[in-house]
């Protein structure tokens, strides 16, 4: 990657985009996190960043809750995933409105908090949460609807750079700062990480599923550039 981007050499980057991610290293079993809590009752999230990537007619809407822990690592606790294309086929819908998506997000959020309380993981109150939405106009409309309904703290991520944002995820996994909790809700995230690839021309082809990856970019952007 250094040779290609900085040295101008003709090399192939074909393969996984987030190439440093390794399921065996970066998926943390739930029982391991619970063991850490048993050893130290204060090993709980101090803040949670929710990255939000949205669609309305075709693309999925994904929400990635990333929890900041006392040792400085971020753990992706869950994934809220609304496959809009499948919902349209199932129910004959033309799309899913932002109002309906806000209701869906809040339903998922309430279930998330209740389930993780059962796991022994304490999700902070809304004063220690931040919802980080894609800066694109479509998602900004969703953010405004969300703000009106919840009064939660929201941020628009407008300073996007594809390669810089990819590099942030690559370097953070490689450095051991990011982990994904091994729960069923996160399997869609792991699958996207393992199947999002560059082609032989070093391009990222359109049509690949990367909604949870985009949501991860927004959450980690807010942490690395505006929070630390």
Q: Is the dihedral of CA 88, 93, 95, 101 positive or negative?
A: negative
74 touches 155 (CB < 8 A):
no
Rounded to two decimals, the pTM is: 0.92
Contacts of 184 (CB under 8 A, 6+ apart): none
Q: What is the band of 56 on the pLDDT scale with cuts at 50, 70, 90?
A: confident
Amino acid 3: pLDDT? 72
Q: What is the CA radius of gyration of the chain?
A: 18
How does pLDDT run across 58-102, given as a tens digit for each residue? Answer: 789 999 999 999 999 999 999 999 998 888 777 677 778 899 999
How does pLDDT run across 6-38, given as a tens digit for each residue? Answer: 677 777 767 899 999 999 999 999 999 999 999
Q: How many Cβ atoms sit within 10 Å of the Cβ of residue 71?
A: 9
């Amino acid at each position: 990657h250094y040779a290609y981007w900085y040295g101008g050499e003709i090399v192939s980057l074909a393969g996984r985009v987030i190439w440093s991610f390794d399921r065996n290293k970066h998926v943390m079993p739930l029982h391991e996190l619970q063991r850490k809590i048993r050893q130290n009752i204060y090993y709980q999230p101090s803040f949670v960043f929710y990255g939000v990537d949205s669609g309305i007619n075709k693309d999925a809407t994904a929400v990635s809750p990333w929890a900041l822990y006392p040792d400085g690592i971020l753990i992706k606790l869950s994934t809220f995933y609304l496959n809009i294309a499948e919902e349209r086929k199932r129910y004959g819908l033309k799309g899913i409105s932002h109002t309906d998506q806000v209701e869906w997000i809040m339903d998922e959020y309430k279930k998330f908090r209740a389930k993780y309380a059962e796991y022994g993981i304490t999700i902070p109150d809304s004063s220690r949460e931040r919802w980080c939405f894609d800066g694109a106009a479509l998602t900004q409309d969703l953010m405004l609807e969300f703000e009106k309904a919840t009064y939660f703290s929201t941020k628009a991520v407008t300073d996007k750079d594809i390669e810089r944002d990819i590099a942030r995820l690559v370097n953070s996994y490689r450095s051991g700062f990011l982990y994904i909790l091994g729960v069923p809700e996160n399997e869609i995230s792991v699958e996207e990480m393992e199947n999002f690839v560059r082609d032989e021309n070093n391009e990222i082809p359109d049509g690949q599923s990367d909604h949870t990856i985009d949501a991860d970019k927004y959450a980690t952007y807010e942490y690395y550039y505006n929070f630390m």
